[in-house]
């Protein structure tokens, strides 16, 4: 009656897999002994082939599992009408194991014991570095939608609209993917403890510093995009934190003392409970606006998701409220990342929708600078490459410079930008010592703006034949870029006389393998998360010892370049192998970010020798570390 229901998680990953000796505190002895009650397996790889600490899988016998589920469901009866099958199984087992050992057996019992219950499947997560879509797609291909009433997800990699993988993009991509298998399938967010991006991995205390506006923004995004079940309440978010200096512990949040998040959920209930989504828009000015219909009236919300803090809006004509439901005077207000709620007041529905959609940002600061910048060494000199964008209503012109401890501009650089235009500026600088942070200073229209930036050191080289070798001198390789009409060619020769043999369960990089990291638009530096892989950034694995159809593996955004458009030819002889790759011209049509890594596994022993062309660190997660190979500038891509 209160709209609150229990959601048991049947066969959570703790039941399937654990590391000894902790598992001995969870499982009964008879199950840990294995046969005939369970099958025990050990592995040092997860289902994707990645290395991991030794794991001990406990797969219960089918009869034991059936009895376990039947007992729970029979005891719960109609008191429990929703069941989620497994918590984040992709962190533990493969899609095939999930479907065959857990999902299908459990749903068979559930449908028989309580046919009216809602079955929630998949529970894919982007926590701990996992890719949410990877596990989901595999389960959909194994027909998980056939016996699911909803699909669940844990969006840890995309908590906000400003996350490197934006929340709205992730939700819409999921819905599109699922609809191909079952139209209208609801999606449920069944866990999201951490509602913002930017905390250090493993920093539990920092990740739990949830503010009230984080909860409101996530709720409104999911409501506007049709997520059927939004972020569940979390006790460490809704209670007030203890006011004890330097006390950082899970017990910092005692029960029964309501905090700001508690109050914001109260307001969300009053303004949006039972509301139906009408429209939503994520606009280039960094504003997210959404409209709902509740009790026959329109109610909206709007906020500055890019967190600029210098955007003003004129709310004249609206009834305006803060995120706690307190009325505000309206008129011109400075926006923050805390949502503002809007009611119709005397406006008709068409007037309300038109007025909200046409709200135009009044910007105090009409220029933005990328928060990440490249510090590039080239020809004995150093330049700072930064992204500058005009976000005002007029053209902009002025000068940009740089200052900071250990770094100064040789001279300011002049710029001219049309309204909404982007430019990548190269500022000559002098650097002494290790520099990681600096301040960009921009003079325009008689004003001085200051922007903090994080610096990433890389190099710029001319396109030429490259020669490189392993540290022990045993292996060597060459790479050469060239072109022909409409195509870019990359030829790689590796002098490797040993064959890594059958792949078995080894990851790609634990076999003879060439890894390519390519960024077709290295001058494109967005305002936020410029170090994250962009649409024009992709990664290739070339497996020279495998059969032709398995030799090329593509990781990247297929909307920019399709793997089918990349030609790959591998030839081998007694001294090694040669790879000829043929790309669409845009992959290397101008300056491109590049790294090449060679992996050599002599036989199946598990020992791997690796070496790289430029020895750039962290290229698997930071595109700004790629070395820039210079030819001609590709301005079309940077747009």
Whether residue 377 is predicted with pLDDT greater than 80 in this model: the reply is: yes
The per-residue pLDDT of the chain, averaged, comes to 87
Percent of the chain with pLDDT over 70: 88
Whether residue 22 is predicted with pLDDT greater than 60 in this model: the reply is: no
Whether residue 115 is predicted with pLDDT greater than 50 in this model: the reply is: yes
Give start and end residues of each alpha helix (H) in 273-416: 349-357
Give start and end residues of each alpha helix (H) in 456-584: none
The whole-number average pLDDT for the span 335-352 is 94
Whether residue 151 is predicted with pLDDT greater than 90 in this model: the reply is: yes
Please indicate whether the domains covering 65-257 and 463-638 agree at the CATH topology level.
no
Angle between helices 62-76 and 104-113 (to 10 degrees): 40
More confident: 590 or 633: 590
pLDDT one-digit tens code per residue, 238-251: 877 666 666 555 55
Pairing state between β 422-431 and 407-409: antiparallel
Domain locations along the chain: 65-257, 279-363, 369-459, 463-638
Chain-centroid distance, C-alpha 399: 35
Omega prior to 388 cis, within 30 of 0? no
More confident: 200 or 359: 359
- Spatial neighbors of 628 by CB under 8 A, at least 6 apart, are 374, 376, 458, 459, 460, 461, 522, 591, 592, 593, 594
Quickly name the fold that domain 65-257 has.
TIM Barrel (3.20.20)
Whether residue 624 is predicted with pLDDT greater than 90 in this model: the reply is: yes
Output the CA torsion sign for 238, 243, 248, 250: negative
3-state secondary structure of 238: helix
CATH code assigned to 463-638: 2.60.40.1190
pLDDT one-digit tens code per residue, 292-307: 999 999 999 999 998 8
Whether residue 131 is predicted with pLDDT greater than 80 in this model: the reply is: no
pLDDT of residue 246: 60
pLDDT of residue 127: 64
pLDDT one-digit tens code per residue, 581-609: 999 988 887 789 999 999 999 876 667 89
Query: CA 440 to CA 461: how far, in whole Å?
Result: 25
24: closest CA among 37, 13, 9, 14? 14
627: closest CA among 638, 610, 609, 612? 612
Name the band, by pLDDT with cuts 50, 70 and 90, for residue 34.
confident
CATH code assigned to 369-459: 2.60.40.1150
Q: pTM for this one?
A: 0.81
Query: CA 19 to CA 53: how far, in whole Å?
Result: 8
The whole-number average pLDDT for the span 388-408 is 89
Whether residue 112 is predicted with pLDDT greater than 80 in this model: the reply is: yes
Query: CA 598 to CA 14: how far, in whole Å?
Result: 37
Name the band, by pLDDT with cuts 50, 70 and 90, for residue 129.
low
Query: CA 627 to CA 619: how far, in whole Å?
Result: 10
The whole-number average pLDDT for the span 353-381 is 89
């Amino acid at each position: 009656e209160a709209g609150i229901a229990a959601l048991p998680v049947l066969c959570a990953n703790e039941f399937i897999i654990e590391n000894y000796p902790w598992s001995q505190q969870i499982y009964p002895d008879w199950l840990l002994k294995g046969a005939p009650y369970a099958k025990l397996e050990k592995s040092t790889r997860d289902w994707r082939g990645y290395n991991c600490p030794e794991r001990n899988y406990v797969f219960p016998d089918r009869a034991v599992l059936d009895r376990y589920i039947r007992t729970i469901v029979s005891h719960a009866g109609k008191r429990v009408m929703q069941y989620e099958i497994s918590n984040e199984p992709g962190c533990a087992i493969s899609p095939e194991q999930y479907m065959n050992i857990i999902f299908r057996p459990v749903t068979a019992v559930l449908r028989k014991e309580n046919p009216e219950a809602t079955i929630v499947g998949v529970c894919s997560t982007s926590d701990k570095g996992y890719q949410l879509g990877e596990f989901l797609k595999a389960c959909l291909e194994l027909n998980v939608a056939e016996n699911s009433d909803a699909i669940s997800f844990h969006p840890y990699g995309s908590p906000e609209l400003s996350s490197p993988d934006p929340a709205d993009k992730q939700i819409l991509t999921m819905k599109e993917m699922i609809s191909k298998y079952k139209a209208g399938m609801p999606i449920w967010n069944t866990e999201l403890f951490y509602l913002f991006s930017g905390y250090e991995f493993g920093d539990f205390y920092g990740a739990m510093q949830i503010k009230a506006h984080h909860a409101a923004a996530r709720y409104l995004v999911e409501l506007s995009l049709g997520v059927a079940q939004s972020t569940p309440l979390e006790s460490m978010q809704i209670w007030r934190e203890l006011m004890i200096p330097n006390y950082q512990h899970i017990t910092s949040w005692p029960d029964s003392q309501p905090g700001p998040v508690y109050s914001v959920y109260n307001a969300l209930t009053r303004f949006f409970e039972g509301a139906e989504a009408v429209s939503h828009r994520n606009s280039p000015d960094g504003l997210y606006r959404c409209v709902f219909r509740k009790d026959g009236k329109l109610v909206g919300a709007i906020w500055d998701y890019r967190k600029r803090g210098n955007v003003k809006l004129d709310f004249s004509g609206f009834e305006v409220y803060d995120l706690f439901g307190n009325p505000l005077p309206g008129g011109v207000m400075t926006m923050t990342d805390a949502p503002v709620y809007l009611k119709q007041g005397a406006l008709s529905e068409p007037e309300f929708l038109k007025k909200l959609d046409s709200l135009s940002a009044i910007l105090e600061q009409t220029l933005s600078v990328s928060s990440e910048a490249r510090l590039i060494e080239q020809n004995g000199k150093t330049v700072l490459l930064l992204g500058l964008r005009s976000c005002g209503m007029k053209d902009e012109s002025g000068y940009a410079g740089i200052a900071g401890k250990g770094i100064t501009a040789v001279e300011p650089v002049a710029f001219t930008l049309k309204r909404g235009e982007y430019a990548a500026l190269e500022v000559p600088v002098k650097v002494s010592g290790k520099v990681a942070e600096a301040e960009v200073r921009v003079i325009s229209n008689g004003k001085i703006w200051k922007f903090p930036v994080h610096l990433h050191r890389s190099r710029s080289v001319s396109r030429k034949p490259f020669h490189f070798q392993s540290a022990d001198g045993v292996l060597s390789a060459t790479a050469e870029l060239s072109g022909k009409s409409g195509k870019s060619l990359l030829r790689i020769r590796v002098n490797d006389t040993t064959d890594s043999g059958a792949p078995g369960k080894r990851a790609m990089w634990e076999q003879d393998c060439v890894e390519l990291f390519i960024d077709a638009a290295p001058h494109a530096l967005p305002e936020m998360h410029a170090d994250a892989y962009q649409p024009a950034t992709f990664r290739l694995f070339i497996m020279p010892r495998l059969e032709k159809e398995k030799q090329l593996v593509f990781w990247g955004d297929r909307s920019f370049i399709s793997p089918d458009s990349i030609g790959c030819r591998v030839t081998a002889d007694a001294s090694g192998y040669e790879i000829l790759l043929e790309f669409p011209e845009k992959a290397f049509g101008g300056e491109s970010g590049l790294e090449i890594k060679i992996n050599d596994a002599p036989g199946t022993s598990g020992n791997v020798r690796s070496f790289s062309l430029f020895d750039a660190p962290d290229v698997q997660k930071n595109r700004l570390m790629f070395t820039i190979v210079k030819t001609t500038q590709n301005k079309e891509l940077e747009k």
